[in-house]
Structure 1
Amino acid sequence: MKGATMKTTMEKLGIIASYSRPRVSNDNPFSEALFRTCKYRPDWPTKGFATKDDAQAWVKSFTGWYNEEHLHSAIRFVTPAARHAGHDRATLANRASLYANARSQNPERWSGKTRNWQPAGAVWLNPETEISAPEIRDAA
């Protein structure tokens, strides 16, 4: 990012420019992980998209699946939509009860603790480097 106008615009929007090089381990793991998820979907078009409209339609469908159906391990196997709506707590409480009941009925099947079904805490992208937009403006 050498263009002053682009850099200023990004700062105003609270976007932190990345100066990492390609293939650096911490460059963009989140976008890479999302792209991997895309590529491993059964309906991923291995030969590419015929048109821009086809690509947009596929991404729209993928986004719906990712947010409404895909169970995310980092948030205790609930969907992002359920988490944002606050429905994850009831789901996780039901799972905790189910597991506790199963363990009490068949203790020989359990060698350790049951899975942690407590709601996940705050989820951040790079929390140690997060800088809010007001802090960026103050620093300028």
Structure 2
Amino acid sequence: MHWYNHEHLHSGIKYVTPADRHEGKDVAILSARDKVQKQARERNPERWSGATRDWTPVGPVALNPQKEKLANSVAA
């Protein structure tokens, strides 16, 4: 469980750990990645065929969004 929450980088939350996301560290991490990637593109533009990756933090996330929608609609 520790590895999954503190070491494993999750694609659904832009490759940060759930712990980083929960603690609010994801904003700084993603901002730093964006800066590094843009600097790399400026130094070597010939290596880039398109835009850099979108490192904007994701909004709210859920483990089972369909189940949560169903639970909320039943409760209402």
2:2 counterpart residue number: 64
Q: Does 1:115 align with 2:53?
A: yes
The letter of the residue matching 2:12 is A
- Identical counterparts, % of pairs: 47
Question: Which of 32, 37, 42 is equivalent to 1:104?
Answer: 42
CA RMSD, 1 decimal:
2.0
TM-score normalised by L of structure 1 = 0.48
The letter of the residue matching 2:61 is V
The letter of the residue matching 1:126 is P
- What is the CA deviation profile of residues 14-63 of structure 1, one whole-angstrom value per residue up to 9, with x for unaligned ones? xxxxxxxxxxxxxxxxxxxxxxxxxxxxxxxxxxxxxxxxxxxxxxxxx1
Gaps of 5+ in 2: none
Q: 1:101 to 1:129 in 2, by over 3 A?
A: same
CA positional deviation for 1:102: 0.3
**124-133 or 90-99: which moved more?**
124-133
1:34 counterpart residue number: none
Name which one, 1 or 2, has greater alpha-carbon Rg. Answer: 1
Q: 1:69 to 1:101 in 2, by over 3 A?
A: same
**119-128 or 98-107: which moved more?**
119-128
> Whose RCO is larger (CA < 8 A, sep 6+)?
1
* Higher helix residue share: 2
TM-score normalised by L of structure 2 = 0.86
Gaps of 5+ in 1: 1-62
Q: 1:111 to 1:79 in 2, by over 3 A?
A: same
1:132 counterpart residue number: 72
1:73 counterpart residue number: 11
Q: Distance in 2 between matches of 1:112 and 1:73?
A: 20
